[in-house]
Amino acid sequence: MSFWRKTERTTLRAEAVEPGRRRFLALGCACCAAVALPALPAGAAVPPAVQRHLNLAKEAAGNDLGAYLRLGNTALTPPAAPQVDLGPLINQPVPPPGQAFDNLFYVGARWVSAWIIRTSDGLILIDALNNDDEAERVIGAGMRRLGLDPAQIRYLVITHGHGDHYGGAGWVKRVASPKIVASDADWTMMATKLEFDAPEWGRPPQRDVAVRDGDRITLGDTAVEVLVTPGHTRGTISLLFTVRQGGQEHRALLWGGTAFNFGAQPDRIERLQGYIDATARLRDIARQRNVDVFISNHAGYDEAITKLAAMPSAGRNPFVIGADTTVRALTVMHECARATMEAWKA
Ligand SMILES: [Zn+2]
């Protein structure tokens, strides 16, 4: 029995009591839902160790990375799977597709992202949205608007095994028959017991290419480095690759799973520690490799849609944030995770 079905039954009971309420789902990728800051119970004090890490996160966020600060909410509430109403998230108006760099395109929805890396030998699609219908309407239509042929997708990379990232894989397979890439751990999850599920999500694809930390996905002139960054799922992968604009090269990091929304699951401490370690490791890599572009698979974090809308008038590319800002973003994520660890261990 899936985690979701248990929650669904609970929620349905709540609906019977309160018929006007919309159905809510416990959702794995509540990464970018516009969730209000939780109110602490009156008189409740935030433990000093928690507050210390939240302060460090706030300091690192400055005035430009506030979107990542909401991760700290997990430190202020008991561990529980987030309750998210999936329909309104999926049914938001589709943003225009856009080109972030000569070789990087956004063809995602408003809530969940899909990126395309263009190589000399075809296209790499990163994530497939919630279901086949959405993939066709958003990825397919967006690609055609940008002059990209969906039949040229050679790889579909699934950043992690939650349905808002693999759900449209059936459409991708139908139009392009690409190799489908995920980590071994998340292939196993997708093939056996899904951590989260929802009726809006397409079914997981059949296991195909399993990648490990340090592997490269090579296509034409492009090599995408795979970094396993566990926590959000056990096998979340992040991607490091070169983007180009006007003869200039930049190093881009796409973080593959941001929220620590594993709720009350028994392995939550281990997963949170994995996330703490992964953010620390990638912060070192970002410094060493001068990673000056940091993007997400939910536009609520990297503000990709806002940045794309600003591109025609902007003097410089808003996606080039500099390595220091990449390090700050990873620090916000890291400190919010450490605050949550202090809260959960207390
Ligand atoms: Zn997820």
| pLDDT tens figures, 229-280 | 999 999 999 999 999 998 899 999 999 999 988 888 889 999 999 999 999 9
232 alpha carbon to ligand 1 midpoint, in Å? Answer: 6
Q: Which of 95, 90, 156, 68 is nearest to 304 (CA)?
A: 95
Contact, 51 vs 322, CB < 8 A?
Answer: no
User: Residue 75 phi/psi, 5° resolution?
Assistant: -80, -10
Separation between Cα atoms, residue 253 and residue 245, nearest integer Å: 16
Look up the pTM and report it: 0.89
Separation between Cα atoms, residue 126 and residue 112, nearest integer Å: 11
243 alpha carbon to ligand 1 midpoint, in Å? Answer: 25
317 alpha carbon to ligand 1 midpoint, in Å? Answer: 28
Separation between Cα atoms, residue 232 and residue 213, nearest integer Å: 16
30 alpha carbon to ligand 1 midpoint, in Å? Answer: 7
Give the tens place of pLDDT for each residue, 329-344. 999 999 999 999 999 9
Separation between Cα atoms, residue 58 and residue 65, nearest integer Å: 9
311 alpha carbon to ligand 1 midpoint, in Å? Answer: 28
Give the tens place of pLDDT for each residue, 177-199. 999 999 999 999 999 999 999 99
228 alpha carbon to ligand 1 midpoint, in Å? Answer: 14
Separation between Cα atoms, residue 265 and residue 2, nearest integer Å: 13
Cα-based distances in Å from 79 to 114, 261, 266, 269: 29, 8, 11, 11
177 alpha carbon to ligand 1 midpoint, in Å? Answer: 24
Superfamily holding 83-345: Ribonuclease Z/Hydroxyacylglutathione hydrolase-like (3.60.15.10)
Q: What is the CA radius of gyration of the chain?
A: 19
How is residue 318 annotated by DSSP?
A: T
Q: Which of 272, 216, 261, 207 is nearest to 239 (CA)?
A: 216
Cβ count within 10 A of residue 85: 14
20 alpha carbon to ligand 1 midpoint, in Å? Answer: 28
196 alpha carbon to ligand 1 midpoint, in Å? Answer: 9
257 alpha carbon to ligand 1 midpoint, in Å? Answer: 6
Domain boundaries, the chain: 83-345
Share of the chain above pLDDT 90, in %: 79
Which has more confidence, 49 or 9?
A: 49
Distance of CA 23 to the CA centre of its chain: 23
Q: What pLDDT score does 209 carry? A: 98
159 alpha carbon to ligand 1 midpoint, in Å? Answer: 9
93 alpha carbon to ligand 1 midpoint, in Å? Answer: 21
